[in-house]
Structure 1
C-alpha cells in the first residue's frame, strides 16, 4: 500500500503550520518549521491567489497529513460521516479520532501518530486484552487499550513508563498509570483548534461538489 515516506517536516512547511508529526521534536528549536517556515521548493516570482476550491483542497490535505490517512481511506470516512445521523463534519472528526493509532497517540503511549502506527503494527498493543495490529481499527466507548506481554517486555515500554507521567490525555479517554492501560470513556469531543487543526466543514464541502 502506498504511503508517504519522505521527510514529514516538509509537510508542515507545505501547509504553512505545524502539524506536530514528529512528537517532542516539534516543541524544540530543532523543529524544521521553526528554522525554515517558508514552503519547500523554489520561491514563486509572484504570489498567486488561491481559489475557494484550492482552499478546500488544502484543508483536506492538512487533515490527511495530520492523521496519516490515504485518500481512499479518507473518502470512505467521508461517506460514512454523511451516512451517520448528526453533523457530518463532527462525524468525520470522530471517525478519525477513534482510530486505534490515534487513541494510542492521544493516551501518550507514543510521541506521534506515526510512532503509534509502528508499535501497533509490531504487535505491542492489545484492545480488550487481545492483540490488535491494525492501526485503522475503530474503537468504541468502553474499549480498553493496553500493552501485550511482548510489549511489556520491550525496551520501549520501560522508557515510556518513565516519561508518560507528563502526558495529559483528552477528557474522553482515561489513563491508569499503575497498569498502563487506557479506556475510551465517551465519544471524542470535537473542539476545533484543540482536537484537530483543520476545518471539517470545509472538507465536507470539498467532497460534496
Structure 2
C-alpha cells in the first residue's frame, strides 16, 4: 500500500508539475517521502547482511531533491517527479560507488550500480587504468552468464580509445567510456509486490563484483572540495 502511495503521488506530480500544486499537496508529499525513506531503510538493513561497507545512516541523507535547477535548461518544469537515492560506502556521495534506486511511475523505475558521473576526470582515468591493466578480471565480471543475463554496461563514451591506451586492447570499447554503470528496469507491478525488497537486494548483490572492481580502481580518489 505504501509504494502505491508513492507511485500515485509521483504520477499526479507529473500531471500537475507546478509550484501551486506542489505546495498545496505537502501532506501527500511528506507521506510519499516517508514511505520511500522507509523502503531505503529496509534495503540498507538487508544489504548490510551481504555488504560489509554499507554504513548505518539516516535514509533521508541518501535521497535527492525533486526541485530542478532550470536556470540553464530548456525544460522549465520545476520538479522532477521521481524519488532517487544512492546507497554507497560514503552514503549519497557518488564515489565510492554504490547502489542507485529510482522510483518513477509508468514503468520508468530502475535499480542501478556503478559510476554514473562522468565529470570527475581523475576518477575516469583511474577506472580506465584498472581496465587496461586488469582486462581479464574485468572481462570475467562483465561476461559472467548471470551478469550478462541481467545487465549491460552503460555510460558516456568517446568515439575512440583515448591517447595513452592501446587502441587494440581487448577491452578497448570500455576504455572509451567516461562512466560505467548498470540499470536494471523495474515495472510498477514489481514495485507493488510484497517481495520487492528481496528482489531489489538480489539484483544489487548481482552487481557487487562490478562495483567492487570500480571501487578498487577508485581507491585514493578524493572528491573535489570546490
Q: Shared fold by TM > 0.5?
A: no
Instruction: Give the TM-score of the pair, scaled to structure 2.
Output: 0.28
